[in-house]
Chain A
Amino acid sequence: IAGITQAPTSQILAAGRRMTLRCTQDMRHNAMYWYRQDLGLGLRLIHYSNTAGTTGKGEVPDGYSVSRANTDDFPLTLASAVPSQTSVYFCASSDRAGGDEQFFGPGTRLTVL
Chain B
Amino acid sequence: GQNIDQPTEMTATEGAIVQINCTYQTSGFNGLFWYQQHAGEAPTFLSYNVLDGLEEKGRFSSFLSRSKGYSYLLLKELQMKDSASYLCAVEDSNYQLIWGAGTKLIIKP
Q: Is the CB of B97 within 8 A of A90?
A: no
Q: Is the CB of B48 within 8 A of A101?
A: yes
Number of interface residues of B (CB under 8 A): 22
**CB-based nearest B residue for A6:** B42
**Known: A42-B87, A97-B95. Contact between A105 and B45, CB under 8 A?**
no
Number of interface residues of A (CB under 8 A): 20
CB-CB under 8 A from A98, the residues of chain B are 30, 91, 95
Chain A contact surface mostly: loop
Distance between Cα atoms of A59 and B97 in the complex (Å): 10
Query: Using an 8 Å CB-CB cutoff, how does the interface string of A39-63 with B read, 1 for contact, 0 for none?
Result: 0111111001000000000110000
B residues lining the A interface (CB < 8 Å): 4, 30-31, 33, 41-45, 48, 50, 87, 89, 91, 95-102
A residues lining the B interface (CB < 8 Å): 40-45, 48, 58-59, 90, 97-99, 101-107
